[in-house]
Amino acid sequence: MTGKIIKKWLFYIVLTGAAVTFIYPFLWMAAGSLKPEIEIPNFSLLSRNLSVNSYKVVLDKIPIIRAFFNSVLVATSVTASVLVFSSMVGYALSRLRFRGRELIFTVILFTMMIPFQLTLIPLYTLIVKFGWTDTYWALIVPYMINAFGILLFRQYFKAVPQDLIDAARVDGCGELRILFRIIWPLSVPALVTVGIIVFMMTWNEVLWPLIVVRKETIMTMPQMVTLFAVGGRVESQVGVKLAAAMMLTLPIVIVYLFFQRHFIASMATTGLKG
Amino acid sequence: MPPNGPERFCPGDKDRSKIAKSLRMKIKHKIEKGNRVGYLFVSPYIIFFLLFTAYPLIFSFVLIFHKWNIIGPMRWVGLDNFITLIHDALFWKSLANTFIFLVIHIPLQIVLALIAAEMLNQKMRLRVFFRGAFFLPVVISGVVVTILWQQFYSTDTGLFNALLTHIGLPRVPWLTSTKAAMPSIALMATWKNMGLYIVLFLAGLQGVPRYLYEAAEIDGAGKLQQFLKITIPAINPTVVLVVIISTIGGFSLFIEPYVMTQGGPLNSTMSCVLYIYKQAFTFYKMGYAAAFGFILAFIILGVVWVQRKVVETEVYT
C-alpha–C-alpha distance, residues A150 and A86, integer Å: 5
* Same domain flag for A44 and A160: no
Report the pLDDT value the prediction gives residue B75, as an integer from 0 to 100.
Answer: 92
Report the pLDDT value the prediction gives residue B267, as an integer from 0 to 100.
Answer: 92
List Cβ neighbours of B225 (8 Å cut-off, separation of 6 or more).
B216
CB B85 within 8 A of CB B95: no
* Same domain flag for A8 and A97: no
Helices and strands: H and E segment counts in chain B: 15, 2
CB B267 within 8 A of CB B40: no
Indicate the range of B227-241, B260-274, B303-317 predicted with least confidence: B303-317
Question: Number of structural domains, chain B?
Answer: 2
More confident residue, B133 or A37: B133
Cβ of B46 within 8 Å of Cβ of A104? The answer is yes
**Is the predicted pLDDT of residue A244 greater than 90, yes or no?**
yes
Other residues' Cβ atoms within 10 Å of the Cβ of residue B186: 23
**Is the predicted pLDDT of residue B249 greater than 50, yes or no?**
yes
* Same domain flag for B57 and B132: no
CB B45 within 8 A of CB B51: no
Q: Which uninterrupted H or E stretch holds B205?
A: helix B181-206
Inside any domain, residue A38: yes
Q: What is the ipTM of this complex?
A: 0.90
* Same domain flag for B22 and B99: no
* Same domain flag for A217 and A266: yes
Through-space distance between the first and last CA atoms of chain B, rounded to whole angstroms? 44
Report the pLDDT value the prediction gives residue B34, as an integer from 0 to 100.
Answer: 54
Query: What values do phi and psi take at B253, rounded to 5?
Result: -50, 120
* Same domain flag for B161 and B286: yes
* Domain of B52, in residue numbers: 11-63
pLDDT tens digits for range A9-61: 999 999 999 999 999 999 999 999 998 888 888 888 888 888 898 999 999 99
Cβ of B139 within 8 Å of Cβ of A263? The answer is yes
Query: Between the CA of residue B83 and those of B79, B87, B208, what are the distances in Å?
Result: 6, 7, 51
* Domain of A243, in residue numbers: 61-273
Q: Which of B34, B134, B135 sits opposite A97 (nearest CB)?
A: B34
Task: Suggest the residue from A54, A117, A133, A201 to mutate for an interface test with chain B (most B CBs closer than 10 A).
Answer: A117
Inside any domain, residue A159: yes
* Same domain flag for B151 and B229: yes
Report the pLDDT value the prediction gives residue B3, as an integer from 0 to 100.
Answer: 41
Report the pLDDT value the prediction gives residue B300, as an integer from 0 to 100.
Answer: 95
List Cβ neighbours of A164 (8 Å cut-off, separation of 6 or more).
A182
pLDDT band at A274 (very low <50, low <70, confident <90, very high): very low
**Is the predicted pLDDT of residue B199 greater than 50, yes or no?**
yes
Q: Which of A120, A145, A241 sits opposite B147 (nearest CB)?
A: A241
Inside any domain, residue B247: yes
Tell me the sheet residues that pair with B76.
Answer: B66
Mapping DSSP to helix (H, G, I), strand (E, B) and coil, where does residue B75 land?
Answer: strand
Domain boundary among the residues A51, A75, A90 is at A51
Q: Which of B124, B144, B289 sits opposite A245 (nearest CB)?
A: B144
Q: Of all residues in chain A, what percent carry a pLDDT higher than 90?
A: 66
- Any idea what the CATH number is for the domain that residue B172 is in? 1.10.3720.10
Inside any domain, residue B71: no
Q: Which uninterrupted H or E stretch holds A176?
A: helix A175-177
pLDDT band at B31 (very low <50, low <70, confident <90, very high): low
C-alpha–C-alpha distance, residues B223 and B217, integer Å: 9
* Same domain flag for B187 and B272: yes
Q: Does A114 touch chain B (CB under 8 A)?
A: yes
**DSSP-assigned states of every residue in A30-74:** HHHHHS-GGGTTSS-S--S---SHHHHHHHHHS-HHHHHHHHHHH
Which of B40, B45, B3 is CA-nearest to residue A179?
A: B40
Q: Does A108 touch chain B (CB under 8 A)?
A: yes
> In whole angstroms, how large is the CA radius of gyration of chain A?
24
**Is the predicted pLDDT of residue B4 greater than 60, yes or no?**
no
Q: Of all residues in chain B, what percent carry a pLDDT higher than 70?
A: 91
* Same domain flag for A208 and A148: yes
pLDDT tens digits for range A129-183: 999 999 999 999 999 999 999 999 999 999 999 999 989 988 888 889 999 999 9
Give the mean pLDDT of chain A. 90
**DSSP-assigned states of every residue in A109-130:** HHHHHS-HHHHHHHHHHHHHHH
CB B106 within 8 A of CB B114: no
Cβ of B31 within 8 Å of Cβ of A97? The answer is yes
* Same domain flag for A194 and A74: yes
Strands, E assignment, chain B: 66-67, 75-76
Q: Which of B23, B56, B134 sits opposite A122 (nearest CB)?
A: B56
Report the pLDDT value the prediction gives residue B13, as an integer from 0 to 100.
Answer: 59
Q: How far is A121 from chain B (nearest CA, A)?
A: 6
Partners of A101 on chain B (C-beta within 8 Å) are: 38
Partners of A267 on chain B (C-beta within 8 Å) are: 135, 138, 196, 199
pTM attached to this predicted model? 0.89
Report the pLDDT value the prediction gives residue A151, as an integer from 0 to 100.
Answer: 93
Domain boundary among the residues A17, A32, A51 is at A51
Other residues' Cβ atoms within 10 Å of the Cβ of residue B94: 25
Tell me the sheet residues that pair with B75.
Answer: B67
Q: What is the mean pLDDT of residues B201-209?
A: 89
Partners of A85 on chain B (C-beta within 8 Å) are: 44-45, 48
Q: What is the mean pLDDT of residues B265-290?
A: 94
Partners of A42 on chain B (C-beta within 8 Å) are: 162
pLDDT band at B302 (very low <50, low <70, confident <90, very high): very high
CB A262 within 8 A of CB B199: no
Q: Does A150 touch chain B (CB under 8 A)?
A: yes
The DSSP secondary-structure symbol of B67 reads E
Q: What is the mean pLDDT of residues B36-63?
A: 93
**Is the predicted pLDDT of residue A110 greater than 90, yes or no?**
yes
Report the pLDDT value the prediction gives residue A97, as an integer from 0 to 100.
Answer: 87
**Is the predicted pLDDT of residue B38 greater than 80, yes or no?**
yes
C-alpha–C-alpha distance, residues A41 and A158, integer Å: 55
Inside any domain, residue B6: no
Question: Number of structural domains, chain A?
Answer: 2
**Is the predicted pLDDT of residue A3 greater than 90, yes or no?**
no
**Is the predicted pLDDT of residue A1 greater than 70, yes or no?**
no
CB A92 within 8 A of CB B272: no
pLDDT band at A271 (very low <50, low <70, confident <90, very high): low
pLDDT band at B5 (very low <50, low <70, confident <90, very high): very low
Report the pLDDT value the prediction gives residue B12, as an integer from 0 to 100.
Answer: 54
Inside any domain, residue A56: no
* Same domain flag for A47 and A108: no
Q: What is the mean pLDDT of residues A80-89?
A: 96
* Same domain flag for B51 and B139: no
pLDDT tens digits for range A62-78: 999 999 999 999 999 99
- Any idea what the CATH number is for the domain that residue A260 is in? 1.10.3720.10
List Cβ neighbours of A23 (8 Å cut-off, separation of 6 or more).
B133, B136
Give the mean pLDDT of chain B. 88
More confident residue, B124 or B258: B258
Cβ of A98 within 8 Å of Cβ of B140? The answer is no
Which of A183, A161, A174 is CA-nearest to residue A91?
A: A183
pLDDT band at B9 (very low <50, low <70, confident <90, very high): very low
Nearest-CA residue of chain B relative to A213?
Answer: B281
Partners of B255 on chain A (C-beta within 8 Å) are: 206-207, 226
Please state whether B130 falls in left (phi above 0), alpha (psi between -120 and 50) or beta. Answer: alpha
Inside any domain, residue A244: yes
C-alpha–C-alpha distance, residues B106 and B186, integer Å: 9
Q: Of all residues in chain B, what percent carry a pLDDT higher than 90?
A: 60
Query: What values do phi and psi take at B82, rounded to 5?
Result: -75, -35
